Amino acid sequence: MFNFNPNFYSDVRIVDSFSTKIIFKKGVMENYNVQKELRAFIRVFDGKLWYYTSTSDVKNIDKELQNLYKQGTPNPDIANDPIVKRFETHICNKMIFDKNSVRNISKEQKIEILKKNAEIYKNDLISYLEYYYLDKSDNYHFYSSKGADIQHDYQHCGIGYNYFITSGKDHFKGRFQVGKNYFDEIVYFENEQKDELEKGIDYALHAEPCDKGYFPVVLSPVVAGVFAHESFGHKSESDFMIGDETMRKEWALGKKVGSDILSIYDYGANSGTGYCLFDDEGTMTQKTYLIRNGVLTGRLHMGTTAADLDEDLTGNARAMNCKFEPVVRMTSTVIDGGDKTFEELIADIKDGYYIHNYAHGSGMTQFTIAPEMAFKIKDGKIGKPVKISVITGNVFETLGLIDGLSKDAKVCNSITGGCGKMEQFPLHVSFGGPYVRISKMNIQ
């Protein structure tokens, strides 16, 4: 235990990190990197200001703490500070990955699974193939001056294949990625890979320019997840409301913000790359409904925002790694499923688009998604592949234009991207939903 000064709130987050990166280009291993790091992030709060440091010298954390105390102003009443009062004080060990850690998987096993799944890409139309194995294992130990003592962990691993298909004048950049929590879950994905590759080849050979304008659109689960994350999730991160009374009234819980069938939640206990049982202030995750049946029902918090808005913690104080302080971030953000099948969703669309996957997305009041692959919907059926630069819409209008959801929501993982917020990118998150139909979106 550390020599915490009672006139300050302090916490110490120690992370033992392990990661592997293996990259093959054109069949040759071009990179093999195993990174191990032990690092601590220390926070001290005097009731007015926070003081942070990050150090790899974990034997001298007490010394760093004393240095931070010198910068602040002692506050004998710190325990009654509204931020400090909210912090939870769990004492527990919730290590769930240690018995099946990627740290114990050999280099040969990792390379074998990678190479085995690469066989499918032996195709004359593929002019370039790059594939990679990535894993990450973080063992956390969190201590606070309030008495929290939490051991928990996170792990993901996965494989990915990036390829270029070239045909005549045109080309297509395709990708396939699988991200899981356990190595045993990365097996052989022949059918999924074949299906995606066939779609990619069809896209490269036959994709046509799209008609620009406003059309009904159906989003796949992964694209729906990006939409939920970018369009509404970021607006639910309550740090953007600090100091703005008008916004608090505008975003009052209970306000209607979407169609009746729309519900979106964030939950760090979902398996996948959004798994985050405890946040970086020692708060346990909870299932937070941001929208339920179209009504604003919650938002995401860390200590400072919860105190400022006089609401409860939600377990969303997250740092990208041990070099940064936590800020309000999402974990696993998902649109709940509805009552239709995919076929029913597209059945009455005469002229529209199906967005199969995405290259990137971003969210302000106007949000955008750049599709990687998209298809025409003509007379209730999926038609030809089309080239679309971006689909865009106003967030609030679009949330109200959702008029159909398929039954099952799928949570999608990413082992390469993740979420970016100002200086902290990428943070591992997941997102998902069912197939989502939107009656009108701007296609460009």
Partner 1 sequence: MQKEYLTSTVVKYTINVVKNKPESLRKTIEKTNTVRVYDNGFIGVAGSIGESNFDELEKQAVENLGLKLPYPCKLPENVVKKMDTTKKVIDTDNYMLSVGKMMDKISAAAPNFIFGNKVTYVEVEAKYRNTKGCDLEYKGNTFSLGLSIKSYGSANLFDLFYAFNEVSIDEKEMVNDVKLITEHYGDVVDIEPGKYPVLMDTSDMFGKSLYDLMIDQYASNASIFKGKLGQKMFSDKFSIYFDRRPEMAHATPFFDDEGEIAPDYERFIIKNGEFVALIGNKRQQEVYNLPIAQNSGAPYDGLPSASFAGLMVKTENKTLAEITKEKTIFVIMASGGDTTTDGDFATPVQFAYLIQDGKVLGKLPDIQIYGNIFEFFGKDYVTTVSKALTQVGESYFTLTKLNVQK
CA distances from 89 to 2, 389, 409 (A): 16, 49, 34
State in angstroms the smallest separation of the CB of 269 from partner 1.
26
State in angstroms the smallest separation of the CB of 71 from partner 1.
7
Q: Is 328 one of the binding residues for partner 1 (CB under 8 A)?
A: no
What end-to-end distance do the CA atoms of the chain give, in Å? 58
- Work out which of 7, 240, 295, 382 binds partner 1, going by CB under 8 A: 240
Q: Kindly report the backbone phi and psi dihedral angles of residue 293, in degrees, each rounded to the nearest multiple of 5, phi listed first.
A: 50, 40
CA distances from 133 to 193, 300, 360, 409, 415 (A): 16, 32, 21, 27, 9
- Work out which of 347, 390, 403, 417 binds partner 1, going by CB under 8 A: 390
Q: Is 244 one of the binding residues for partner 1 (CB under 8 A)?
A: yes
Tell me whether residue 43 or residue 152 sits nearer to partner 1 (CB atom).
43
State in angstroms the smallest separation of the CB of 371 from partner 1.
9
Count of residues of this chain found to bind partner 1 when the rule CB under 8 A is applied: 69
Interface characters, 246-285, with partner 1 (x: CB under 8 A): xx--x-----------------------------------
State in angstroms the smallest separation of the CB of 363 from partner 1.
8
13 close to 40: Cβ distance less than 8 angstroms: yes
Q: Tokens 């045109």 belong to which residue? A: 170
Interface characters, 90-109, with partner 1 (x: CB under 8 A): --------------------
d(C-alpha 146, C-alpha 99), whole Å: 30
Element (H, E) at 9: strand 9-25
260 close to 294: Cβ distance less than 8 angstroms: yes
Q: Is 121 one of the binding residues for partner 1 (CB under 8 A)?
A: no
- Beta strands across the sheet bearing 410-413: 295-296, 288-292, 264-266, 332-335, 430-433, 410-413
Q: Tokens 């798994």 belong to which residue? A: 275
Tell me whether residue 83 or residue 405 sits nearer to partner 1 (CB atom).
83
Kindly give the pairing relationship between strand 208-209 and strand 381-387: parallel
**If you count DSSP H runs as helices and E runs as strands, how many of each does the chain have, helices first?**
9, 25
Q: Is 235 one of the binding residues for partner 1 (CB under 8 A)?
A: yes
Interface characters, 18-57, with partner 1 (x: CB under 8 A): ---x---xx-xxxxxx-x-x-----------xxxxxx-xx
Q: What angle do CA 137, 427, 245 make, to 5 degrees?
A: 140
State in angstroms the smallest separation of the CB of 345 from partner 1.
25
d(C-alpha 185, C-alpha 178), whole Å: 9
Q: Is 166 one of the binding residues for partner 1 (CB under 8 A)?
A: yes
Q: Is 17 one of the binding residues for partner 1 (CB under 8 A)?
A: no
Tell me whether residue 1 or residue 243 sits nearer to partner 1 (CB atom).
243
Tell me whether residue 325 or residue 336 sits nearer to partner 1 (CB atom).
325
Q: Which residues bind partner 1 (CB under 8 A)?
A: 21, 25-26, 28-33, 35, 37, 49-54, 56-57, 71, 127-128, 130, 164-166, 170-173, 209, 234-235, 237, 239-240, 242-247, 250, 304, 323-325, 359-362, 364-370, 387-390, 392, 394, 396, 422-423, 442, 444
